[in-house]
Amino acid sequence: MLENRDHRRGVPEAAHPPRFSLTNSLLIVNVVVFLGQTYVTAKHPAFPMDRYLGLSLDGLRHGYLWQLLSFQFLHGGVFHLLINSWGIYVFGPPVEHAVGRSRFLWLYLLSGLMGGVVHVMGSLVFPIHFGNTTIGAATALNPVVGASAGLFGLIAAFATLFPRQELTVYLFFVFPVIVTARVLLGVSAGIGLVGVFLAGDNVAHGAHLGGMVMGFVLARYSKTSHQHREDPGK
């Protein structure tokens, strides 16, 4: 768990968007989709939702290109949904205010898409290290679901736009540790890299890394273009 320690340090007061914002809209959509997902699973347990809407190399091979979008709004359980929603709630508002609504939406969705692409390409080359389980000669496909790739794109964007902003991270949900945004990003990237090589934890670390890269690139572009608009002589 984490939270902004002080919005006045490096993040403008206006970073709190009005009640109607894309951040709030994303949170609502995630909850609504999860409720629909839960209902369908309960009423039609045989329906292969993860196969059709979760992201997998097998699905893309069958032409299910919509998986690159749909997987971002499915979740593996209430806790999975709550963790991702909390992260979006913390990092979404300041990023949305800084880059604008339109760029915020593209940043979020493209970070998720890039995370999905990295994971799928990784599962093609190194299946065990990218969410698949190999038993003998058979490989069990584990479709990816969740908003975490988009969330890590927001984290990377936040750290790029407000690198010195202090955040309180609760280790094991109990012990508070104060870090800057860029330190948090560095630690997150390190965990992602280690997680890729230490297979077996059922976490799509490759998707997290892909999301971070896209979030960083788009935030850098947004920051640079904003500076050029302020000083066209550069």
What average pLDDT score do residues 74-87 get?
94
Strand partners, 2: 169
What is the per-residue pLDDT across 178-190, written as a single tens digit (0 to 9) for each?
A: 899 999 999 999 9
Q: Would the pLDDT of 19 be above 80?
A: no
- 2-224 is a CATH 3.40.50.1480 domain: no
Least confident range from 20-24, 137-141, 194-198: namely: 137-141
Q: Would the pLDDT of 80 be above 60?
A: yes
- Mean pLDDT is highest, among 1-5, 27-31, 167-171, for 27-31
- Of the candidates 187, 183, 188, 180, which has an alpha carbon nearest to the alpha carbon of residue 148? 188
pTM score, whole prediction: 0.86
- Proportion of the chain above pLDDT 90, given as a percent: 56
- The interaxial angle of helices 205-230 and 78-99, nearest 10 deg, is 20
Structure tokens at 3: 């939270």
Q: Domain coordinates of the chain in residue numbers?
A: 2-224
